[in-house]
Structure 1
């Protein structure tokens, strides 16, 4: 699918990757319905592309927010692309986190994403060609210490994408699961950036991730994982998980040090 042919609803549009993606899509000629809990970061883009960009302030984790998005999508003239980019990440050992934090993470990253997709799927199915993009993570294929809840949510999103792709195999709706590696956004706390520096973990710029996602959309890919050696570890974790266990065991003292210092 070419971006210029896309009528897109993008959640999480005011975040790091979401904002970079909105900019790239607007530059490529897409019609955009941009969703965020904060609209201030999106206002300059809306002023630059007034014929292409509409803004909707909504919380997808609430029923009222999802109702507002369905109404906005209908008023927009329908959709042929839904990009689920809204999400939250929390770094820390599981025992350091409270029940409310865990519930909020799963609610936004998994439950609300599935609920919104379910509500908007009839609009996608009404189009001659349509695309659903779920923004995942390398941590949707590799369980990583310090990110147990986040990994659980992204593993769930990857499974959802795979199952829905098969469920829609006889329709005109395609499903893309797109998995960035570590990215320099505000989602990552300073302790995460410091830990990645100590471990030698590369972090991509949001603009680079957005460019890769546009390429995956143009090539009609079904699944895309970014980064090397991250793609290798994804394959190894599926085939020989004990090797990844051993590699991460060596990193564990550093991960624990940064997680405990954070608190």
Structure 2
């Protein structure tokens, strides 16, 4: 789908990937509705584009009231043909060190709220000549990695949700895309994560490059996009020969635990 055709809801627009994504979509003529719990953080982003091209709705996606507000704002703008689920959080640490609240918050935003929000505008999306749902996942939605157990659980589930919903909507004009970035240089990653990635020689993409890849996936309507090499290979290898990946990550485990303990 061409950017000039897009009338899209974007969540997570205040994040490291979200801001360049908004800029790139707007540069192609898209009209966007940005959902945020603290809309003041996004109003300057909206003002940097032509009047009427970017709107902001105050909404806590973790609440039913907030999700209803997003739908009402989309209806007030005259409908939509795209939903981009880019909101998410990460947390680095051993599972035994994370309390119930931290785990619930992560799963709640990365998965539960995303599924619940997606359900609301489906009737609007199905009224469009063609429409897209774009779920921004992660390489860790295909490869379980020590130190990120809860995060991996949320992204594995998001990938499964994308696959199931794609099949559920196969007889409609709505397509479901799943885009999986690898490690990205954003504030979501703590200093210990950045240092661990450097110690393990993990490549990290710039947010601008990831945003460009999401725009490319939207243009080509590719069902699944995995970013980075050799990460694409590891995703396939983990599906076919998981024991080989077990062995490789077992070697990295002492390094992961060193940085987790240094963090705490």
Bin the TM-score by the shorter chain: over 0.9
Whether contact under 8 Å (1:14, 1:35) holds in the other structure is no
Q: Alpha-carbon deviation of 1:124? A: 0.5
Runs of 4+ in 1 over 3 A off after TM superposition: none
* Equivalent in the alignment of 2:99: 98
Q: Alpha-carbon deviation of 1:45? A: 2.5
Whether contact under 8 Å (1:17, 1:206) holds in the other structure is yes
Q: Alpha-carbon deviation of 1:42? A: 2.3
Determine whether 1:25 maps to 2:25.
yes
* Equivalent in the alignment of 2:74: 73
* Equivalent in the alignment of 2:244: 243
* Equivalent in the alignment of 2:222: 221
Distance 1:45 1:83 in 2: 17
Q: What secondary structure sits across from 1:83 in the alignment? A: strand
Q: What secondary structure sits across from 2:17 in the alignment? A: helix
Whether contact under 8 Å (1:9, 1:32) holds in the other structure is yes
Q: What secondary structure sits across from 1:16 in the alignment? A: coil
- The root-mean-square deviation of aligned C-alpha atoms, in Å, is 0.8
Q: Alpha-carbon deviation of 1:246? A: 0.6
Distance 1:71 1:146 in 2: 39
Q: Deviations over 1:51-105 (max 9, x none)?
A: 2000112110111111111110100111100000111110000001001100111
Q: What secondary structure sits across from 1:78 in the alignment? A: coil
Q: Deviations over 1:205-254 (max 9, x none)?
A: 11100001111111110000000000000000000001100100110000
Structure 1 residues 62-141: aligned runs within 5 Å: 62-141=63-142
Structure 1 residues 1-263: aligned runs within 5 Å: 1-49=1-49, 50-263=51-264
Distance 2:26 2:230 in 1: 31
Task: Specify every segment of 5 or more residues in structure 2 that has no aligned partner in the other structure, as ranges.
Answer: none
Distance 1:227 1:126 in 2: 35
Distance 2:142 2:32 in 1: 30
Distance 1:41 1:207 in 2: 19
What TM-score comes out, normalization by structure 1 length? 0.98
Whether contact under 8 Å (1:14, 1:38) holds in the other structure is no
* Number of residue equivalences: 263
Distance 1:46 1:118 in 2: 26
Q: Alpha-carbon deviation of 1:256? A: 0.4
